[in-house]
Structure 1
Amino acid sequence: MTATVGTDALLVAAELLANAARHIPGPQRLELDLDIRSLRISVTDPAPAPPRPRPHRPDAVHGHGLFIADTRSADSGRRARGHARW
């Protein structure tokens, strides 16, 4: 894993955890799954619905978490029942 990939992974994990802490009671679980080709970062939270990204506004103070996760990840997605996976 290169330094850039490691930095991006750390940034994505931090943003997902911060998003769960800010908008719902908080994250319940962080999972990192590394294999030869990829690193999957999963944040589980108690929300019944997946997070909904809003239009990104670069001038806003908040609201960049999902945008950062989407742009720094090769693939991203969200699942209902309290799971967000990137």
Structure 2
Amino acid sequence: MLVEHFIANFASAPKELILDVDASDIPLHGEQELKQFHAYYDHHCYLPLYVFCGQSMLVCLLRASRIDGAKHAAAVLRLLVNRLRQR
């Protein structure tokens, strides 16, 4: 849905898009599902994968934290780029 809203804001396809891919921690308190300790952040957290283009969030994939920050990034980008090119 975020991607569809982003695409709808353009009258024509832009010549270039710069995508920013990043994982960031969301600290957890309580007993949420998939709650795991992440040593780098030194707390229990989720580690969602975000994709932005400028100020627009295109993807937010909620993930457990005991994974590599780049895990699933290639697959998410492949799907996203394919969708953007359909325009």
TM bracket (short chain)? under 0.3
In our comparison, the structure showing a higher alpha carbon Rg is 2
In terms of fraction of residues, the more strand-rich structure is 2
Q: TM-score, normalised by structure 1?
A: 0.26
Q: TM-score, normalised by structure 2?
A: 0.26
